[in-house]
Every structure is written in C-alpha cells, then in structure tokens.
Structure 1
Amino acid sequence: MKKLSLAPILLLLLLIPAICFAGTLNSKQGNKWNQSFNKAKRTLERQVYFDHQETIYCGAEYTGNKRVIHPQGFSTSKYSKRANRIEWEHVVPAENFGRTFTEWRDGDSKCVDKRGKPFKGRKCAEKVNTEYRYMQSDMYNLYPAIGAVNAMRQNYNFTMLPDEESDFGSCSMKIENRKAEPPVNSRGRIARTYKYMEWAYPGYKMSKAQRKLMDAWDKMYPTSKWECVRAKRIQDIQGNMNPFVVCE
C-alpha cells in the first residue's frame, strides 16, 4: 500500500491562518447593503426609530409625519421653517468625508449637466462613486435632528466652546466660528459614530485633535440602552457592526 505524503497536508495547515487573516482584512466593515440615501432615511424611520422618535442634539420628540414637538424653552433665530420638522443629520458631515473623493474635489468626465456644463461636489460623487454612495447612506452615521439645528451645524467639526451661550435656548447646542459644541447627552453617540466611520472607511481620517476629543467623549459618556437597541437594529438590517458601541 502506497504511503500518503504529509507535505501537502502540512502546507495546508500552515496556510490556514494566513487565509483566515486575509478573509478578516477583506471582510466588509462599512455599509454594503444600500446605496440610496433616501432608502436609508425611510428604513431608519420605519424600522429603527419607530418607537423612539427623539432627536439627537436637543432630545426633541417628533410625530410620525416628522413634525417636531419643541422642548420647552427651545428657540432659534434662523431657519424657523426648518425648526418645525426633523431632518436626517450626517453626524460626520457628508462634506467632511466627501472631500476624500476626487469626484467631489475635481469632478469627473461623467459629471456634466444637460447644458454641457461640468459640475463637482456632492452631486458628482453621488453620481459616479459607489463607495461614496455607501458612506452617504450608512445608517450608523444618520440621526434625526431638528431641521434648524441641522442647518446651522452645517459641516462644522465638534469642539468645546465653554464661553459660548446656546444658540437654541434650552437646547444647549452651541455654534461659533465654524465650530460646534453638542449637548452632553449626545456626545457619547457622536464620538462612537466618528470612530466607527474612520474604522469602517479607511479613506476617511479624523484630525489628531478631533480623534483625541472623540476618544475622551467615548470614555466619559457610556453607551446608553437606546444606543445599544439602535445599533442592534441597524446591524440586523445593514449587516455590519459598530464595534465601538459596547453593550452588556
């Protein structure tokens, strides 16, 4: 009877760890479920926030038709019409990660309007780049916010503004010199969202100062019960996890 050579078996055993490691590197970390921003918003409304209709910054409740129930003492000096409805806010602003794409910065040969005029920016990135569409539609980065707050926050980075007063009355969201300081009750969620986006999409990087702040907020403000429920629902739908939302 001919003896079997052990060499191929030993070689396979040596290769298994490398194969598994490569699989880990190639496994999807970000959103690969949906490329439509509108679909992401509808899904959040119907399957994630259906029993927790509350905005991230001001803790304002809202109705099924997206009308805001303003907290007592809430006020705004701008965007008064948008103050009456909720909008879906990119906590990591679309412009901040969008500028990592050449289509956003420089345009693309496919980005030409009906008059033959080239365009760039968000519309071009959305039209041409699949990865951008996945990032824009990632539900972990989308939160309901009062429209006026969303409008005034724009694409500003978060920081601490201790000497500033709230721009929204009883809602302690502060905005000054193209910077924003969010209320205490939203800081943990914001931090774990920023850290997730950098982890899930290697093309996006926080500045050292922003990462330091997010690391601090992550430690200072623990994960809440609702944050855990939200993350689990998104994971079940979108198919990927936010490893920074640690739940018991």
Structure 2
Amino acid sequence: MNQAFVALATGLLLAVFTASEAAPPSSFNAAKRLAEREVYHDQSVTFYCGCNFDFESGPNLESCGYEIRKQPERANRIEWEHVMPAYDFGRQRQCWQNGGRDNCRRTDPVFRLAEADLHNLVPAIGEVNGDRSNMRFGMVNTPVHEYGACQVAVSFQERAFQPPPPRRGDIARTYWYMRDMYGIEISRQQQQLFTAWANQDPIDEWELERNRRIAAIQGNGNPYVSNEEFPGLPEPEPIFSCNVRKTCSQMASCEEAFFHLLQCGNGRLDGNNDGVPCKSICR
C-alpha cells in the first residue's frame, strides 16, 4: 500500500470529522447503540435474509423461512455485521501485524473510526454473521451451506459468501466507500464483481434514507450512494476479456460467467433469463 496516500487520506478523514458539527461514534459499542436508536429505529428486516425482527426479541425466523444450520442460539439473535470485515480493513494496518484487533483498538485511532463507521454496519441474523466471518463475497460453487428460504449461500471450502441479489449493490457501494475512506486495497477480481453487482442492484429508497441518517450522525455520507462527489461507478481494469465468446463449460469461475453475461452481452449463458448465468457453477 502507498504509505504517503494512507497518511494523506488519514489526515483528510480526521479533518472531515473534526470540522463537522456531527461526530463519529467513539467506539464499535457506541456505533451499535447509535445504529439501533437513530438509523434502524423504524426498520424491522435483517440485511441478508429479510427476516422480520426487533432488537429485544431477535429475528422471527418463520417470517422469512429461515432454517437453522447449526447454531440455534446465534440464529435467534440480531448481531451487527461489518459488511467489510474488520479483518479486511485491519490487516493492512501496522497495528494488526503487532497484535491484531485488540491492539488496533488500543493504539490506532483510524482503525477505531473504521470499526465504528456506521456506513459499514448492518443488522444480521447472528448465525449468518458468524458463518460469514471474514469470508470474501463471491458466487459460490458446491459444496454450500444454505439457510432455508434465505437467499444466502456459504462455502467453507472456498471461503466464500454469496449474498442475496437485493443486497449485492449495497455491498459493492459499501466496499467502495471503505476503500476510499480508509485507503483499503481491494483485489481486481472483487472490483470487477462489485461493478457487476452495483449495476444489477441499483440504489433504492431505503439505501438513500439510511445514507442521510448516517451522514446526520457522523458527519459524512457515502458518495457512492448520494452521488454528490462521484457521479459514476468506478471502472476497474477488466481481468476477463470479451474477445473470445465462451460457453458455460469454458468458464473458470462464476465471476467470469457474470462478466461474460453482463459486460459482454452473452445472453446464451442465462437460459431462463433470471439474471444468473451458468447454473452449473453459479448457484
């Protein structure tokens, strides 16, 4: 990572928060309280599975057809999920190398800001949050673990977590925000996937309202939601090519299949027109 860039970004980040009348949460625990009281106070649907919930009694698993995989205690409570895991924005900082998350909390003010950033926090069923852990987002192959009618799939073998279609754009825009705000590096493959996801799942009214509420609390919005500073989507360098027209049997991954469907216009890959190509590798 370019250290000069990180130093400059850190200075700008602290200046933004200092100059604002609003103030960022002082800690992850403070952020969770603020998110419950001031962001999600009138919202009652979990991020990944769309289950009805309240913060006192937890999720109503029957409301979304959720089936417990293994952990009934965690499945019956709401937890705050970091869309970009703490591992991803922590491991690129020196504090993580010298003692992990606890050391970063003690010694690194920028890590504390990132960990408590409300733009990166969403309410999720605890079991899903625990299974996802710090897995990368992606389209998973078999074997997978699923949760009944909840449109989430996890592959522990591939270390990959596949979110439901209505949340994929939200995830992409959150990752771009965290990348730019805290100088986090994201792989080219992930950038390519997120561009496809953002195009598939455009900004909706709740995403806009959530962004407004968070900006009022901590003093900054997500420009990929508000479009105030960055009117267009980023165009990462392609890692796949449209030069050769491929069939599903020639795809090396689900990400490549999505690229050929969305970027190259190869509609034959999506035989039933449901937006998902190559069912043999994309579930």
Pairwise same-fold verdict (TM > 0.5): yes
Corresponding residue to 1:195 among 170, 173, 176: 176
Q: State how far apart, in whole Å, the 2-side matches of 1:199 and 1:247 are.
A: 14
Q: Secondary structure at the match of 1:28?
A: helix
Query: In the alignment, residue 53 of structure 1 is paired with which amino acid?
Result: S
Q: Secondary structure at the match of 2:48?
A: coil
Q: State how far apart, in whole Å, the 2-side matches of 1:96 and 1:103 are.
A: 13
Would the alpha carbon gap of residues 61 and 72 (structure 1) be closer, same or farther in structure 2, given more than 3 Å must change?
A: closer
Conservation of the 8 A alpha-carbon contact between 1:31 and 1:138: no
Corresponding residue to 1:76 among 68, 71, 90: 68
Query: In the alignment, residue 75 of structure 1 is paired with which amino acid?
Result: E
Q: Secondary structure at the match of 1:245?
A: helix
Matches within 5 A, 1:116-131: 120-131=99-110
Q: Secondary structure at the match of 2:146?
A: coil
Q: State how far apart, in whole Å, the 1-side matches of 2:160 and 2:189 are.
A: 13
Would the alpha carbon gap of residues 77 and 26 (structure 1) be closer, same or farther in structure 2, given more than 3 Å must change?
A: closer
After TM superposition, the structure 1 stretch with the greater mean CA deviation from structure 2, 26-35 or 133-142, is: 26-35
- Structure 1 or 2, whichever has the larger Rg, is 1
After TM superposition, the structure 1 stretch with the greater mean CA deviation from structure 2, 70-79 or 56-65, is: 70-79
Matches within 5 A, 1:54-65: 54-65=45-56
Matches within 5 A, 1:21-60: 27-28=12-13, 33-60=24-51
The residue aligned with 1:186 is 167
The residue aligned with 1:156 is 135
Query: Structure 2: which 5+ runs fail to align?
Result: 1-8, 19-23, 229-283
Q: State how far apart, in whole Å, the 2-side matches of 1:227 and 1:45 are.
A: 16
Give the drift of 1:200.
Answer: 0.8
Q: State how far apart, in whole Å, the 1-side matches of 2:188 and 2:123 are.
A: 27
RMSD: 2.3
Tell me the number of residue pairs that the alignment of Structure 1 and Structure 2 aligns. 212
Query: In the alignment, residue 120 of structure 2 is paired with which amino acid?
Result: N
Deviations 1:78-114 (A, max 9, x none): 2210000100000000011110111211x2xxxxxxx
Q: Secondary structure at the match of 1:59?
A: coil
Q: Secondary structure at the match of 1:233?
A: helix
The residue aligned with 1:137 is 116
The residue aligned with 2:207 is 227
Query: In the alignment, residue 234 of structure 1 is paired with which amino acid?
Result: I
Query: Structure 1: which 5+ runs fail to align?
Result: 1-23, 108-119
Percent identity (aligned): 39
Q: Does 1 or 2 have the higher relative contact order (CA < 8 Å, sep 6+)?
A: 1
